[in-house]
Amino acid sequence: MTSTTQRTERRDDGRAGGIPSRDHVIGVDLGGTKIHAGIATTAGELLAEKRIRTSSDGSEAIEQIHALVLELCATAGVAIDRIAATGVGGAGVPDATGASFDLAPNLTALGGTPFAGRLGELLGHPVVIENDVNVSAVGELVAGLGRGHSDFVFVSVGTGIGMGIIANGVLLRGAKGAAGEIGFLPLGADPLDPANHVRGALEEVTAGDAVSGRFLLGAGSALSPEEVFARAADGDEHALLAVDDEARWLAAGIVAVTAVLDPELVILGGGIGSRPDLVPRITSWLARYGQPDLPVRTSLLGPLAPVIGAAAIAIDAAAAAQKGLSR
């Protein structure tokens, strides 16, 4: 996101003629384990950001976001009535009404909750929601490795796996908003087993707990994915096998995606996907799958990608609302 100079006719408190100027937005990345939010101007300058832990099942997420927005406003010295809109990227798929999230196994308490409406009532401005990986793709498009590319995919790997698709320069959502849910590709785990239908077969073998589980089977010790990667870097045989298996299945998913979308670039993010030591292993497997020339790179924005992308969709929502009022 780029910086901007405030208009000279605007007072220091953001008011023109005593009327609050809604010239800021909030971008929120809502995950199963953390909430990461930032405040930005409507011209795209990120002013402040903060991360907190999500309540155990997401049941307090609305109240947590409300408190976080107030804190960000205080940090940036921006009154809450200057916020034009809030964008929330959540670990799920917006329902048909755009009010809440479906397919959100890591935010079970939000199922059926009129999330956007309730949060909007607390904040006093419109709230727009989108899939968290989709907003990461938007973040890459406006401020990351996606700049200059009209066709690319952003693959996030961490607690789960998901993909955001930029096609012809715009976000591709699909008929039901679920485009990019590659965790459901019938790869890795048995796709006919109902137990693998909640997260999807590919997610069963690529999510963080799968990395830990493979190491546990090989070495008999329970470690976090971060610890498994650290041991692999030190040459631990069992950890190396666990990491290589992760790369193998991620490469298989990328090959399937490439056959359909033919992207210019694959950008990796998330707690696992952002590890640069994973890229050489993925490219090695891609070569073995017959795709040696597909560019795969690690996001340079890191955890800011979804925050920036969520702010971008909030800017779009604010602009659309202003356009509607001016008619």
Query: How far is 131 from 306, CA to CA, in rounded Å?
Result: 10
Using the predicted structure, report yes or no on whether residue 263 has a pLDDT greater than 60: yes
Give the pLDDT of residue 64.
95
Asked if pLDDT for residue 188 goes beyond 90, the answer is: yes
Question: For the segment 288-311, what is each residue's pLDDT rounded down to a tens digit?
Answer: 999 999 999 999 999 999 999 999
At residue 32, the pLDDT reads 78
Distance CA 131, CA 179 (A): 10
Name the residue ranges covered by the structural domains of the chain: 15-135+304-325, 147-298
147-298: same fold as 15-135+304-325? yes
Q: Exposure of 24 by Cβ count < 10 A (0-12 exposed, 13-18 middle, 19+ buried)?
A: buried
Q: What homologous superfamily does CATH list for 147-298?
A: ATPase, nucleotide binding domain (3.30.420.40)
Q: Is 44 exposed, middle or buried (0-12, 13-18, 19+ CB in 10 A)?
A: middle
- Judged by DSSP in three states, 178 sits in coil
Question: Which residue shows structure tokens 């359909």?
Answer: 260
pLDDT, residue 296, reads 97
Q: Are 289 and 323 in contact (CB under 8 A)?
A: no
From 57-71, 97-111, 160-174, the region with the lowest mean pLDDT: 97-111
Predicted confidence (pLDDT) at residue 133 exceeds the cutoff of 50: yes
Pick the CATH number of 15-135+304-325 from 2.30.30.280, 1.10.10.10, 3.30.420.40, 3.40.50.2000: 3.30.420.40
- pLDDT at position 111: 64
- Region 257-283: mean pLDDT is 95
* Percentage of the residues of the chain whose pLDDT score is greater than 70: 88
Instruction: Dump pLDDT digits (tens) for 103-114.
Output: 666 666 666 678
Confirm if 54 and 35 have CB atoms less than 8 A apart.
yes
Of the ranges 28-37, 172-181, 256-265, the best mean pLDDT one? 256-265
Listed residue (81, 82, 134, 146) closest to 103, CA to CA: 134
Residue 92 has pLDDT above 50, yes or no: yes
